[in-house]
Amino acid sequence: METQKKYRILGLLYFTQTIPIAFMGHAMPAILRDGGISLEKIAYFHVILMPYSFSFLWAPFVDKYGKSYFRWVSIATTLYALFLLPAMLLNFNDAIPMIILLTLSVFSMSTQDLAMDAYAIKFLNTEERSIGNGIQSAGNYFGFLLGGGILLIAYNQIGWNYSILILALFTVIPLLLTVRYEKFSRKEKSTQKRNTLRDFVTYFKAHRVKKWIPVLLIIKVPTDMIFYFIKPLLIDKGFKLEEVGLLFGLVSIGAAMLAGLLSGIWLKKSTDYKKLMCGVIGSFLSVVCGLILLYASRDIYLLTLFLCGIIGAGTGLNTMVVYHISMKNVRKGKEAADYAFQSFLRTILFMTFIPLGAHFAVNFGYQVLFYFMLFLCALIIVLIHINFKRSLIQTSNRNNQKLI
């Protein structure tokens, strides 16, 4: 398949699969907060997204079964729509059935994501991958822009039923392409080898992986925490729901989308060390801007606009880097499983910090949480320097010795 066609398909699929995740994970907290729901209850509502974090458990089935990755995408997308549409008949008072339906829909979408990640790893060559990761990041944040921004702005006008209908309609659009181009995503025989849960233990044995995992565990925590708590923070500062949709949903996410795409092009030929350092710089900028936003007056609207943009840009840069390095740390025949396992590892601390962060924000203020994120940024820099800079120097010295 032509490179540009691969880019277009990847961009469309990453865009549409992120829309429901953005709405449930980012728009709904603001909607609930605007309705007077406590931060603690909003944090626990995040359980709907748990299948996305634990998708590595069924990732081996995606690697082993099915003739093509696009067939997996088509089946998962159809199931997603079938689980989601009945939620139109419910409201927030029907908590249990709504949570069940939304969780099943997220389960289906996470399966689609497994297949798409494996496809990107298998069918993007080395020259295409950096730009492909930029498109992946941009597509994800474009989905956030619609699901977490535009729908949030329009929610008071369109309501729950039309929001669910829009989520379903947009997300099934890629079926037109995945059915048509299924033959271009067929698996090789090498991907049909037997995968088991034991493989997740052996994954840690690789020397390169041992250096990457400690960084992976915390590298996205600062930006993700700022990105998560900026919405209730804006509500608490007196901004209306529509204004939060503009500031976060359009400005922050739009900046993240642009930064993710441009960084994929800009860092195409850079070393892993440089890419990771750029990623943590993005985290640092996001946290600092979050602190400034915390103390800034809401009357200075342009400053708020600027800070939300920088927070988004730093997050987009960080995300692109993590996607890129993660795709380089997979084993042949276990692409979906290894990449999903890394996704799980990078969300462990984030999922833990959400309720803890909500507790600290309520009892001690947002500033305690944000300053702790600055500490994590410093820790990440140390880990990257130890695990990647020294490795780069050692590799260079070995190459020089060979030349001598």
pLDDT value of position 291: 92
Residue with tokens 């990105």: 227
388 φ, ψ (degrees, to nearest 5)? -115, -40
pLDDT value of position 53: 77
pLDDT value of position 170: 87
Q: Rounded to the nearest 5 degrees, what angle is found at the Cα of 99, between the Cα atoms of 243 and 61?
A: 110
403 φ, ψ (degrees, to nearest 5)? -65, -35
Count other C-beta atoms under 10 Å from residue 61's C-beta: 15
The answer to whether 343 and 326 are in contact (CB under 8 A) is yes
The C-alpha atoms of residue 397 and residue 404 are separated, in whole angstroms, by 11
pLDDT value of position 394: 46
59 φ, ψ (degrees, to nearest 5)? -60, -35
Count other C-beta atoms under 10 Å from residue 173's C-beta: 13
The answer to whether 349 and 379 are in contact (CB under 8 A) is no
Per-residue pLDDT of the chain (404 residues; tens, 9 = 90+): 678 888 888 888 888 888 888 888 777 777 766 767 666 666 666 678 888 878 888 888 888 888 888 899 999 999 999 999 998 888 766 767 877 888 899 999 999 999 988 888 888 887 788 888 888 888 888 887 788 778 877 888 888 888 889 988 888 888 888 888 888 788 776 444 555 666 677 777 776 788 898 999 999 999 988 888 888 888 888 888 778 878 876 788 888 888 888 888 888 878 889 999 999 999 999 999 999 998 888 788 889 999 999 999 999 899 989 988 988 888 887 888 888 888 888 888 887 887 788 887 778 888 888 999 999 999 999 999 888 876 554 443 443 333 23
Count other C-beta atoms under 10 Å from residue 97's C-beta: 12
State how far Cα 200 lies from the chain centre. 21
Rounded to two decimals, the pTM is: 0.75
Q: Rounded to the nearest 5 degrees, what angle is found at the Cα of 351, between the Cα atoms of 348 and 355?
A: 140
The C-alpha atoms of residue 124 and residue 237 are separated, in whole angstroms, by 45
DSSP state of 67: S
pLDDT value of position 404: 30
Burial class (CB in 10 A: 0-12, 13-18, 19+), 121: buried
Burial class (CB in 10 A: 0-12, 13-18, 19+), 131: middle
pLDDT value of position 355: 78
Radius of gyration of the chain, Cα coordinates, nearest whole angstrom:
21
The answer to whether 169 and 304 are in contact (CB under 8 A) is no
Domains of the chain by start residue, with CATH: 3-182+206-396 (1.20.1250.20)
DSSP state of 188: P
